[in-house]
């Protein structure tokens, strides 16, 4: 950041309620750290926000939600962009970096039922396995669909796009019997009471980096990087780095039937990663895992490199079992 802009930081953000919440959350945390700072929001609509009548996999994936924000960074209109990290493509544009992974919140998926339910069912559905046969579930995520079909091939799936508020409205208007959403987004927007249940990990492994906010900026803007660095969470960064490295090796975008979840054990001495690749029709689900030990005593750069290697190892295990053929189905 130039000296003339030393006290002003501009955050590029989408206009959706969740994106605004996330940008304001980061703004407030930065102001708490740097009271002398002035922070402005630059709001914009991305192509992903405008194309709501087609599955993301058919129109370019979730990278459509960040391109305009990255352009604003590159041309100097903004200093940072705040992202739901699961929306960030595996390869960043030249000149941009992702130096901050914030402390990860709830990484799991949630089942949400309509506000007004059949009185005979309202008190009986407390978990995903309770859904009646043939229920219509709203999701545009191939990852969610292929994993659910493994356990509940009787369910019907219907595309669901739009921001969190509009998805809930469609559910309550009777377009779906149930929908699946990321728990973190519901909590952040004050809809925690809409969560019927979290989906257990054996049923539904999260999307890569789900629940973690990240901050993107120019790679040569060392002043800005110094300002935002305190928001980086070491443990979350290790987990997300492993997951994204796995996805990158699989050459997977953000809207493919790939799931990945890494976490440190309670002792903090082992990072465990599980990865899944599924067939679009739910007929097959490949599962592989791996771990690496003694990360935290290492220098941060070394620890991140080890986490990347873990992700690549798990990806190679999946590829050895035929993951590429399943991923190729998405483009057919």
Indicate which residues carry an active-site annotation.
87
Q: Length of the chain, please?
A: 332
Residue pair 260/318 in contact (Cβ under 8 Å)? The answer is no
Instruction: Report the distance separating Cα 84 and Cα 328, nearest Å.
Output: 26
Residue pair 26/9 in contact (Cβ under 8 Å)? The answer is no
Copy the structure tokens of residue 272: 């465990």
């Amino acid at each position: 950041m130039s000296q003339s802009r030393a006290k002003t930081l501009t955050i590029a953000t989408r206009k959706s309620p969740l994106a605004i919440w996330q940008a304001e959350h980061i703004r407030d945390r930065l102001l708490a750290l740097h009271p002398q700072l002035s922070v402005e929001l630059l709001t914009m609509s991305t192509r992903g926000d405008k194309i709501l009548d087609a599955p993301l996999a058919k129109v370019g994936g979730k990278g459509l939600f960040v391109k305009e924000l990255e352009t604003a960074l590159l041309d100097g209109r903004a200093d940072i962009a705040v992202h739901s990290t699961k929306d960030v493509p595996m390869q960043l544009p030249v000149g941009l970096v992702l130096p901050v992974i914030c402390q990860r919140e709830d990484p799991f998926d949630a089942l949400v039922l309509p506000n007004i339910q059949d009185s005979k069912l309202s008190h009986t559905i407390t978990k995903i396995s309770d859904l009646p046969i043939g229920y219509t579930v709203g999701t545009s995520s191939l990852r969610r669909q292929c994993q659910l079909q493994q356990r509940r091939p009787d369910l019907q799936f219907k595309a669901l796009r739009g921001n969190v508020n509009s998805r809930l409205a469609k559910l309550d208007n009777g377009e779906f019997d149930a929908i699946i959403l990321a728990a973190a987004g519901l909590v952040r927007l004050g809809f925690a009471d809409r969560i019927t249940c979290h989906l257990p990990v054996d049923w539904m492994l999260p999307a890569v980096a789900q629940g973690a906010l990240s901050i993107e900026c120019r790679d040569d803007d060392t002043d800005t990087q110094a300002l935002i660095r305190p928001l980086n969470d070491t443990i979350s960064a290790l987990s997300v780095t492993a997951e994204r490295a796995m996805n990158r090796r699989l050459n997977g975008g953000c809207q493919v039937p790939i799931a990945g979840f890494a976490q440190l054990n309670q002792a903090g001495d082992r990072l465990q990663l599980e990865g899944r690749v599924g067939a679009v029709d739910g007929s097959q689900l490949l599962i592989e895992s791996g771990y690496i030990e003694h990360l935290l005593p290492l220098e941060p750069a070394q620890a991140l490199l080890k986490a990347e290697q873990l992700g690549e190892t798990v990806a190679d295990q999946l590829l050895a079992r035929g993951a590429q053929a399943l991923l190729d189905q998405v483009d057919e």
